[in-house]
Structure 1
Amino acid sequence: MDLEAIPGVGAKTAERLAELDDPERALREGDVAAIARAPGISEGRAARIARGAIRRDHDDPGGFLGTDRASELYREALSLLQARTVTDYAARRLETIYPSATESRIEEVRAFATAAMDRDPDPAVRDALAGVEPLDAPGDVRIRDRCLATGDAETYARAQEAIPEVSVELVDDARKLSELARGYATVIALDEDFTGVEVDGDVRVEPSALENPAEVVPERVLTFFARNRDSLRAAATVAQQADIEVDCDLDALADALDQLDDDGQVRGDEELDRLTTAVDDLDAAVSTAESVANDRLREAIEERDVTIEGADLLTLVERGAGVDSLLGRELADEYADAVAAARDHLVDALQLRDTERIARQTFPDEPTFPVERDESVVSRLREELTAARDRRATRRKRELAGELSDARPAAEELVDAALDLDVELAIARFARDFDCTMPTLSADPGFEIEGGRSPLLDVPFEAVEPVDYGVDGVTLLSGVNSGGKTSTLDLVALMVLLAHMGLPVPAAEARVERLAELHYHAKTQGTLDAGAFESTLREFGGLVTGVGDEDDETAASARKLVLVDELESITEPGASAKIMAGILEALDERGATAVFVSHLAREIRAAADFDVQVDGIQAVGLEDGELRVNRSPVKGELARSTPELIVEKLAEDGDEQSKAFYRRLLAKFE
């Protein structure tokens, strides 16, 4: 796949996408999570790239949303779906679902949405989804206790690229290798030439190390799983509760995750814990042992009466001897006991094993007071314990990384499955919340809606009155103010948008013509000036001349639905009626489907040179000053206006003289 052929993908972005394990699959499936794993690509950017890739894959030219109002309604419909997601990922993934004129794309989403509608949006699953996030590939792992060594420049370059987490050093001979071994806990020589070379320290000759990075840097694997531990656990819970089939041993994954701490260090290993504690507590344990020896020796001195003959004292003074000599002569056994107690305390406190011999050399055999540690011995003990700890940690890291490295693809699949489930559950919740059904898309012109209810209205969905409405051809929709004409247009547009997105619609039943474009012109606020008026006419001119030509073989694939709300407001009523009549004539000649909402239906019908279909949202009457309306348009009937209803009511009340006056006014409406 030529990545740069995807709309919106340049050379730099293509390079980043190429770093993915399988960029073609991710782009083909619109896998936002996988695309977002490419360096420097956010989820929002990933969603746009995925949308472009989908369009390219389906040869979809785009352009279905022909006007700002159509785009606005699409965003509102998308928001209804996104509001029912749990994860940010699912909200982004839904952005890859867009209204399309391409049959293959519509059918692809319809199949996905149909399966999603069978999902049970279990609250427990949704709670678990709250902890699922796209996996993060840590790029900040840096290992300072080991290095790679080679004498070959080409190998040096390959090593830096393959394992950037550790330092790579150029060495010429065993002497330089030995120098590295003094500075690093472990040196891994990449050249076979070093085989058999004996140097002090942990030096390993592993020519194939670059082929097994997890052996050299197990932290790469462990940090990945540690950073993503919470998300993996939440995804495992989702998989279990939602009964998702994943190629992942969830029990084994849980056991492995339990062996990691937040920093990617191995935990739960008794020997490693012992060595770690010994290193951490060494100074404190030595100080305590020192105190044990001095306390014992002090007590022994205080309890003993030491008598020194004058000649002995003179001899000691002549020799320059001090208290140490006195201790050695008079309290040798007590000193030995005190030091033994100190040594035992140090060994027991740190639970020393292999290093016990070194630890017992911490306090000297020669009597002294106060008893003091031998810092050189303590330093050597620290080095031995630290080396043993690091060797144990590295071994355990390698063992655990070996278990987890092969599990990474399955772990990624597990999280992706949970995130994709959130997308499905959002569609399922949308369908249930708004009593949706899957619409029929057909080549037959027009649309037919039964029991349609708009979730976009500013009232609870349960309170929305169902609407039945169908149009085949060019139609004028009339009705009283606040009777629901605009909301009916919104409902039609919403049905068309959702159907061409491949999603269910909020209706008992719906049939929608397969269209190439949706043009929805919202109500203009106020009369336009000359320039704006001309611009509006040019827009409609381009629209009507581009709609379905009978002689064009591609007419069926270029059909447009035109929805217009009160175009008469663009200029004076008389001129508006003539202009609208002319537009409707052009649309009718081209076999288009259009619904024009207007208060000038009577005038437009009179100005048109064809029999314009007029439907009406009929007012049932006035009740306590409130207008009562039948929200479903009545075919072929011009709606009565609010003023007419008021005059009619007045014609039925009052004295005969008043009634006569109002009946005369009422006759003007006929």
Structure 2
Amino acid sequence: MDIETIPGVGEKTAAALSDLDDPERALRDGDVAALARAPGISDGRAARIARAAIRREHGDPGGFAATPRAQEIYRDALDLVADHAVTRYAERRLETFYPSPSRTRVEEAREFAARAMDREPDDEIRGALAGVEPLESPPSVRVRDRCLATTDAETYARAQDALPEVSVEIVDDARGLADLARGYATVVALDDAFTGVEVEGDVRVEPDALEDPATVVPERTLAFFAHNRNRLRAAVEVHRVADLDPPCDLDALADALARIDDDGNVADDDRLERLQTAVDDLDAAVSTAESVANDRLRGAIEERDVTIEGADLLSLVEQGAGVDSLLQRELADEYAAAVDDARDHLVDALGLDDYADMARRAFPDQPTFPVERDEEVVSRLREELTTARDRRATSLKREVATDLADARDDAERLAEAALELDVELAIARFTRAYDATLPEIGGEGVAIEGGRSPLLDVPYEAVDPVDYEVGGVALLTGVNSGGKTSVLDLVALTVTLAHMGLPVPADSARVEHVEELHYHAKTQGTLDAGAFESTLREFGSLVEAVRSGEGGDVVVLVDELESITEPGASAKIMAGILEAFDATDATAVFVTHLAREIRDAARTELAVDGIEAEGLVDGQLVVDRSPVKNVLARSTPELIVEKLADERDGFYVELLEKFD
């Protein structure tokens, strides 16, 4: 697939999409999540690109919603379905469903919708989906506790490209390797020549390291899973509660994710935690150990009263007298006990038996007061603890990264499957919320049974069901507030959803496959001359296109076109437009209060459907919302006059006769 041939995709966008592993598949499947992983592509932009790719694949010229009101109906239809999505991804993915004149696209979407309608959404799945999002690439990783070493300039360049996360150094010999080992916890030598060389420190000879990055920089692998950890956990849960067929072992993935934290560090390892705590608390532990020794030694000195009074001894100490000799002579046992307390405290605080000997050397045997640490020993202890921590962490990371090294593709499929499930469940929830059904595509015109418009500003349960069938051209009449515009909206919504391949809010429906929907909303007030001319030109172009066959099959819905100018002229204009449509295969419904005048002005017989008012009860209209074929519905004024005529004779009876 030539990406640049997709409408709206330029050179820069095509280059960004080419960075994906399989951009053709993502475009073909409308995979918004995968497309949004391309550099600089937002999820909204990804949805538009996916929609354009689908159109190109099906030879779809677009333009189905041919008027502003038809476009509003499409947005309303999309919102009705998207309102039932849990994830933002599903909302965007649903934007790849659009009303299409392409039969193959409609059929493709209908197959997806049919599968989706069989889904059984429940609150447990919905709750699990709340944590699922498209997986993201993590921020770049930088590892500072290890480096690569080589004697070869070409290998040096390859290593920098292959493993930018770590430092790469050129060394001349084993001595250079030893120097690096003193500055890094781990050194990985890339040359066979270093095999067998003994160097103090953690130096590994791994000539194939560049081919297996996970063993050298496990942080690269872990960063992806750590960054997406919560999303993947949610995706695992979705697969479990929805009983989906997973692309990988869910338990193994969940266990691996449980071993790392959000920063990519290995969690729940006792040895690593104790080493980390020892490094973090070393200075505090040494200081506390000093205090323990000095408190004990101070108490012993103050209580001393045999050879030297305690107060005199303290005075001598403060004057800088021979403290070492005094302590050795008078308090050797007490000093030794105090130092032992300090050593025991430090060893206990570190909690690492294998570092106990070094920790004890932090307090020398030579008597001093106050008791002080040996800074050189403490510094060396800190270095060894830090190195041991880093090596332990790297070893554990390597272990987990090895388990996850080949799992990235499966993880992405796992998240995408969960997100796609949300798309299906949104359609399933929409279906159940509006008792929707997948309409039949074919025949002539539109037929709706038990249809209820969810676009009305009342609770859906309170909407009266409507039956309506129209083929060819028809005038739709009825009382004010009787539901004429609502019927037009229902027809427009049904036609739009049907051509999106989605279910419609009706007990059953049949929709002719058409190429365009023209819906003209009611004009607010009489148009000026320029706007009036523009409206006539618009209808003239549409009529010519339909007559010539260039416009294909269309549905035309018009709401009270008579408001564009004076009633007399409006009736004649509408009669002419309807005559033109009547001579074609177009399906057209015109809502009007001028049905009589239009029929009188027309040279052909025009069908008239009426929304009948059954009468007035307590000043309120009682209306049968389903249009009746071949009935010129009475107006509200006629009903009021009829009510008055029933109550008394004379003037009102005479007035009622004017409506015959």
On whether the aligned pair clears a TM of 0.5, the verdict is yes
SS of structure 1 residue aligned to 2:518: strand
Greater shift after overlay, 221-230 or 106-115? Answer: 221-230
Pair 1:155–1:538, CA change in 2 (3 A): farther
Matched with 2:611 is 617
1:324–1:367 contact (8 Å) kept in structure 2: yes
Residues 33-65 of structure 1 deviation map (CA, whole Å, 9 limit, x = unaligned): 121122222211111111112112222221111
- Structure 1 residues 507 and 326: alpha-carbon distance in aligned structure 2, compared to 1, 3 A threshold: same
- SS at the partner of 2:504? coil
Aligned runs of 1:48-447 on 2, under 5 Å?
48-150=48-150, 152=152, 154-171=154-171, 176-196=176-196, 199-307=199-307, 322-442=322-442, 444-447=443-446
Shift of 1:396: 0.3
- Conservation of the 8 A alpha-carbon contact between 1:87 and 1:130: yes
Q: Is the 8 A contact 2:474 2:588 kept in 1?
A: yes
In 2 relative to 1, CA 168–571 (structure 1 residues): closer, same or farther, beyond 3 Å? farther
1-side partners of 2:516 and 2:354: how far apart?
80
Give 1:155 shift: 4.3
Give the direction of change, closer, same or farther, for the CA distance of 1:158–1:523 in structure 2 (3 Å limit): farther
Which position in structure 2 is the counterpart of 1:573?
567
Match of 2:335, SS state, is helix
Inter-CA distance 527–152: structure 2 relative to 1 (3 Å threshold): farther
For 1:669, the equivalent position in structure 2 comes to: 659
One-letter code aligned to 1:223:
A
Deviation at 1:210, TM superposition (A): 2.5
User: Which deviations, in whole Å up to 9, do the C-alpha atoms of 1:112-147 show, x marking residues without a partner?
Assistant: 111111211211211221122222221232222223
Which consecutive residues of structure 2, in runs of 5 or more, have no partner in the other structure? Answer: none
Aligned-pair CA distance for 1:335? 2.4
Q: Deviations over 1:517-572 (max 9, x none)?
A: 111111111111111111111111111111154xx6x88xx211111111111111
Structure 1 Cα separation of the partners of residues 169 and 258 of structure 2? 36
Does the aligned pair in 1 maintain the 2:113–2:502 contact within 8 Å?
A: yes
Aligned counterparts, 1:546-585, within 5 A? 546-547=545-546, 549=548, 558-585=552-579
User: What is the rounded CA distance, in whole Å, between the counterparts of 2:464 and 2:658 in structure 1?
Assistant: 32
Equivalent pair of 2:553/2:585 in contact (CA under 8 Å): no
Q: Summarize the Cα distance change of 1:18–1:161 in structure 2 as closer, same or farther, 3 Å threshold.
A: farther
In the alignment, is the contact (CA less than 8 A) between 2:235 and 2:414 conserved in 1? yes
Query: Structure 1 residues 153 and 76, CA, compared in 2 at 3 Å: closer, same or farther?
Result: farther
Task: Tell me by how many angstroms 1:589 deviates.
Answer: 1.6
Where does residue 587 of structure 1 map in the other structure?
581
- Look up the equivalent residue of 1:663 and give its one-letter code: V
Q: Which amino acid aligns with 1:517?
A: E
Letter in 2 for 1:15: A
Residues 548 and 592, structure 1, Cα contact 8 Å, conserved in 2: no
Deviations 1:435-494 (A, max 9, x none): 11110001x221111111111111111111111111111111111111111110000000
Counterpart of 2:650, as a letter, is: A
Q: Distance in 1 between matches of 2:410 and 2:306?
A: 78
Q: Are positions 1:450 and 2:444 aligned together? A: no
Deviations 1:333-384 (A, max 9, x none): 3323322332222222212333333222211122222211110110000001
1:629 Cα shift? 1.3
Distance 1:287 1:458, change over 3 A: same
Instruction: Work out whether residues 644 and 652 of structure 2, in 8 Å CA contact, stay in contact via their aligned partners in 1.
Output: yes
In structure 2, the partner of 1:660 is 650
> Match of 1:485, as an amino acid?
K
Q: CA deviation at 1:151?
A: 5.1
- Alpha-carbon displacement from aligned partner over 1:82-104 (angstroms, at most 9, x marks no partner): 11111111111111111111122
- The answer for the alignment partner of 2:525 in structure 1 is 526
Distance 1:651 1:153 in 2: 107
2:626 corresponds to which of 624, 632, 649 = 632
The answer to which of 356-365 and 328-337 deviates more is 328-337
- Rounded to whole Å, the distance in 2 between the matches of 1:275 and 1:352 is 8
Q: Which amino acid aligns with 1:585?
A: E
Once the two structures are superposed, residues 221-268 of structure 1 have per-residue CA deviations (whole angstroms, 9 ceiling, x without a partner) of: 222222222222222222211111112222222222222222221111
Residue 590 of structure 2, aligned match among 596, 611, 625: 596
Q: What residue is the counterpart of 1:30 in the other structure?
A: 30
2:535 counterpart residue number:
536
Q: What root-mean-square deviation, in Å, do the aligned CA atoms of Structure 1 and Structure 2 show? A: 2.2
Deviation of the 1:207 alpha carbon: 3.1
Q: How far apart, CA to CA, are the structure 2 residues paired with 1:451 and 1:159?
A: 69
Alpha-carbon contact 2:450-2:507 (below 8 Å) kept: yes
Distance 1:626 1:157, change over 3 A: farther
In the alignment, the residues of structure 1 paired with residue 14 and residue 162 of structure 2 have an alpha-carbon distance, to the nearest angstrom, of: 21
Q: Distance in 2 between matches of 1:542 and 1:150?
A: 75
**Residues in 2 aligned to 1:171 and 1:649: alpha-carbon distance in whole angstroms:** 107
Q: Residue by residue, what CA displacement relative to the aligned partner does 1:485-520 show, whole Å, maximum 9, x if unpaired?
A: 111000000000010001111111111000111111
**Secondary structure at the residue paired with 1:354?**
helix
| Secondary structure of residue in 2 paired with 1:638 | coil
One-letter code aligned to 1:661: F
Q: Per-residue displacement from partner, 1:626-657 (whole Å, max 9, x unpaired)?
A: 11111111111111111111111121112xxx
Match of 2:544 in 1: 545
Give 3-state SS (helix, strand or coil) of 2:91's partner.
helix
Aligned to 1:647: 641
Question: 1:636 & 1:162 partners in 2: Cα distance?
Answer: 78
Which sits farther off after the overlay, 176-185 or 265-274?
176-185
Determine what percentage of the aligned residue pairs are the same residue. 73
* Counterpart residue type for residue 113 of structure 1: A
User: For residues 380 and 58 of structure 1, do their structure 2 counterparts lie closer, same or farther at Cα, with a shift above 3 Å needed?
Assistant: same
